[in-house]
């Protein structure tokens, strides 16, 4: 019985000693936490939360939009990147920024349609790219009056571009179509 008391006493004191020795170290570590790392500086002119993925932006570079649509760094508000999408936003006097953009959507796909299959618009082919031509219903006509769409099939992906007519006129979008990769 005496051995148990001694063994218990030694075990208990060792546990208390261990706790007494490590507790201050744990408290000190908790109080001296390093400051969170500063957010990485964006590598683009942001309009949204994220820069565009370079692989998506490569399908239609900003320089091509500048060239075809007559825009510049002075009118460029910034870019909004998300999965498979890159939106270039421009400042147009008297217009809201959410309606003045050129958006590139380039998802990877197992099966790529050789031509757009759109229930709302008919398309005409301009070189290797299809461009929206006419609205198929009166409800979709206002959308076509505000923006023009482009579609280009690729191998394992397709590229769709929606361009606000406040940024690019229909004739400028035809020039833009030649820059899609």
Residue 39, in any domain of the structure: no
In degrees, to the nearest 5, what angle opens at C-alpha 87 toward C-alphas 81 and 91?
Answer: 125
Q: Does residue 162 lie within any of the structural domains? A: yes
- Reported pTM: 0.76
Q: Residue 10's CB: how many other CB atoms inside 10 A?
A: 10
124 shares its domain with 87: yes
Give the pLDDT confidence of 55-64 residue by residue, as tens digits: 999 999 999 9
Closest to 90 measured CA to CA, from 147, 133, 43, 151: 147
What total of structural domains would you count in the chain? 2
The string of pLDDT tens digits covering residues 20-79 is 444 444 444 555 555 444 456 668 899 889 999 999 999 999 999 999 999 999 999 999
In a domain, 46, yes or no: no
Q: Which residues span the domain enclosing 95?
A: 54-177
Residues 112-141 pLDDT 10s = 999 999 999 999 999 999 999 999 999 999
**Whole-number pLDDT of residue 7:** 40
């Amino acid at each position: 019985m005496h051995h148990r008391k001694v063994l218990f006493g030694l075990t208990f004191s060792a546990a208390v000693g261990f706790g007494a020795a490590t507790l201050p170290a744990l408290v000190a570590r908790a109080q001296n936490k390093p400051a969170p790392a500063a957010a990485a500086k964006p590598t683009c002119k942001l309009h949204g939360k994220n820069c565009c993925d370079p692989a998506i932006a490569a399908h239609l570079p900003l320089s091509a939009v500048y060239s075809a649509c007559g825009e510049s760094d002075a009118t460029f508000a910034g870019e909004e990147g998300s999965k498979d999408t890159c939106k270039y936003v421009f400042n147009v006097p008297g217009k809201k920024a959410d309606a003045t953009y050129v958006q590139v959507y380039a998802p990877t796909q197992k099966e790529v349609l050789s031509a757009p299959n759109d229930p709302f618009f008919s398309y005409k082919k301009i070189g290797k790219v299809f461009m929206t031509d006419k609205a198929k219903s009166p409800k979709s006509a206002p959308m076509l009056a505000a923006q023009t769409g482009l579609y280009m099939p690729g191998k394992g992906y397709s590229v769709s571009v929606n361009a606000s007519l406040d940024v690019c006129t229909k004739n400028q979008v035809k020039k833009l179509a030649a820059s899609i990769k």
